[in-house]
Each structure stands twice: as structure tokens, then as C-alpha cells.
Structure 1
Amino acid sequence: MAERTLRGARLGGQSFEDERGIEFAARQQVGYRCKQDHEFEITMSVEAEVPAVWECPRCGAEALSVSGIKPEVKAEKPARTHWDMLLERRSEKELEEILKERLELLRGGEIGPAHLHRANRKKGKASA
């Protein structure tokens, strides 16, 4: 039974409804031009908000509206680095003190990689 329902009709091929009595939405043609001087038009509804930028169908670059609509410039925040985030928590003076303490512990063999401490012990035994 299911086989007979699609007989004689292509899927997605054509509609069996006529267009009488249908009122289409008002449309407008919006022109765009990319940096490579490709010009093209896009059909949009009159009610639609027209974007200032559209992708060029030929080269994929950004195309600007030829009607003079300017793209909105978004205020971009500068990227926060690790140093910026560290300075939010501590002052430079505090960081210098912490660095000095950690270097003393490292040089004294209390912290750090084990292979550095073994090398220091061998030097200490050899000189004794």
C-alpha cells in the first residue's frame, strides 16, 4: 500500500497546490559587494532587518551592503594574560617577595626536582 502512495510523483519535485489566492510577502532586493568586486543581490522580506555584511557566494569573503549600511563596531575587550590575572590578586612587591622565598627554598634543596638535589649532595660529599 505504501508503494502506491508515491507512484507518479517525485519527492520534492513539484507541488500539487496552485498559487491562486495566495498573497506573497513583500520583498526587496539588497545589493552587496565584496573586496574582490563581486556584486550580487539577495532577496529579503521588506520586514527583515537588513544585515550590513553578507558572505560572497563566489569567493566566500565578507561583502558589504551597497546601500550604505555600516556594520556595528563591537568594543572588544583586550585579552587577559596570566600576568594580568596575577596582578589582580597580588602586587608586584608581594610577587617579588614570594619569588625570593621560593628561590631560597629551591637553592637550599627543600623544593624542586629530585635530580637537582642528588647532584648537590654528590658535590657536597666530594668536596668534604
Structure 2
Amino acid sequence: MAERTLRGARLGGQSFEDERGIEFAARQQVGYRCPQDHEFEITMSVEADVPAVWECPRCGAEALSTAGIKPEEKAEKPARTHWDMLLERRSEKELEDILKERLELLRGGEIGPAHLHRANAKKRSASA
């Protein structure tokens, strides 16, 4: 192993690659300001789509671009309730018929919790 190591090199040391002849990508500085007035700049490629919002490195709040780029307003969909979804599948007339049928079954003791039927059975046997 000792014969394969580079003499004078240390772990995490400098790179032995040369930067001559390398052309770096064009960059730009993009400024941001958070609600707590922390200002900072991010280096980005000129070709990059600059986001309107960036997380503040000091407080973690959403910082807005100082270049006047506005965040896109997202169209919020109205909240769909269970009733809305139910009405997509059935009409109100159908729902009324189903409710009436289920109430008759419940009152007749054919469906529902057992403790309700025992109480009803006692009442029926006491009245008979």
C-alpha cells in the first residue's frame, strides 16, 4: 500500500488538476430579502430560471427576489366536501330513497348496533 500513495499528498488536500484552458459558465448574482430584512445574494448561471422565492439562510423564512420577480399565483381549487363527492355519484332523490330504506331497516332491527336491538326487543316483549 505504501508504494501506491502519492508522496506529499494529504487527505482532503488540493486538487492536482490545472484550471488553465477551462472556461467557466457565465454567472449572475441574484439578490433576495426576507421579511426580517435579511439580504443575501445567490450565485446562479445566467441561463438558469431565477426563482422568485428562496429560503433565507439566516432565519429560514421565504425571501423574495429584489429584482422584482413576483411569485406565480397558484389557482386554488375549492375544497371538495364529502357531500360534493356524493352528489357527483347520486342525485338527491336517490339519496332520499336510500336514507328512507336504511332507516326502515334500522328501525326494524335488521341493521345497526346490537345493543339497540336488545333494548327494542325488551320493549317489544314487555308491551306484548
Displacement of 1:11 after TM fit?
3.7
Deviations 1:84-121 (A, max 9, x none): 11000112222122111111110111111122111111
User: Distance between the aligned counterparts of 2:93 and 2:23, measured in 1?
Assistant: 74
Question: Partner of 1:12 in structure 2?
Answer: 12
User: Distance between the aligned counterparts of 2:93 and 2:69, measured in 1?
Assistant: 51
Displacement of 1:6 after TM fit?
6.2
User: Distance between the aligned counterparts of 2:86 and 2:80, measured in 1?
Assistant: 10
CA spacing shift, 1:18–1:122, aligned 2, 3 Å: same
Question: Partner of 1:106 in structure 2?
Answer: 106
- Report the TM-score when normalising by structure 1: 0.89
Give 3-state SS (helix, strand or coil) of 2:33's partner: strand
Moved more, 80-89 or 90-99: 90-99
Displacement of 1:43 after TM fit?
0.4
Q: How many residues align?
A: 128
CA spacing shift, 1:2–1:111, aligned 2, 3 Å: farther
- Report the TM-score when normalising by structure 2: 0.89
Identity of aligned residues (%): 93
User: Distance between the aligned counterparts of 1:2 and 1:125, measured in 2?
Assistant: 98
Moved more, 1-10 or 15-24: 1-10
Give 3-state SS (helix, strand or coil) of 1:126's partner: helix
User: Distance between the aligned counterparts of 1:114 and 1:53, measured in 2?
Assistant: 58
Displacement of 1:20 after TM fit?
1.7
Question: Partner of 2:49 in structure 1?
Answer: 49
Moved more, 2-11 or 50-59: 2-11
Give 3-state SS (helix, strand or coil) of 1:67's partner: coil
User: Distance between the aligned counterparts of 2:77 and 2:20, measured in 1?
Assistant: 55
Displacement of 1:13 after TM fit?
3.2
Question: Partner of 1:21 in structure 2?
Answer: 21
Q: For the aligned residues, what is the CA RMSD?
A: 1.8
